[in-house]
Amino acid sequence: MGKESFSESLQFVLKEMCNRVGADYDSIDFSSNNWYSKYEWTIQEEKQFEKWMIDYLYKNAKARREIMNYSIKNKSYLEKVAREFTFHYGWRLNRE
């Protein structure tokens, strides 16, 4: 799946994720099996990104429709969505 098939909101989220670790969004091949293992972040950085993503989804109905299965504006549900997103697509964790 290439970037051109990503929704505008998913591109925005992935660009933010890249910016947080100094990755160049345009040079990442998101169709490769291990694209998310090329960079790493700390647990604290991951939690800060999740908080950002929760706020983004809470304030943006279009993003909720494009990214979530159910466009629910509920903080606890959005926390679950953000945690699942970083679990599946977040950078490798640096536990040091």
Looking at residue 69, what is its pLDDT? 87
CB-based contacts of 59, cutoff 8 Å, min separation 6: none
pLDDT of 76 above 70 = yes
Q: Which residue has the tokens 């090329």?
A: 38
Encoded tokens for 22? 């100094």
pTM of the model: 0.91
pLDDT of 96 above 80 = no
Domain hosting 63: range is 3-93
Report the alpha-carbon distance of residue 96 to residue 78 in Å, rounded.
28
pLDDT of 67 above 80 = yes
80 — pLDDT class (breaks 50, 70, 90):
very high
CB-based contacts of 13, cutoff 8 Å, min separation 6: 53, 56, 63, 67, 85
Mean pLDDT over the full length of the chain = 93
47 — pLDDT class (breaks 50, 70, 90):
very high
Lowest mean pLDDT among 9-13, 30-34, 40-44: 30-34
Identify whether the C-beta of residue 31 lies closer than 8 Å to the C-beta of residue 84: no
Q: How many domains does the chain have?
A: 1
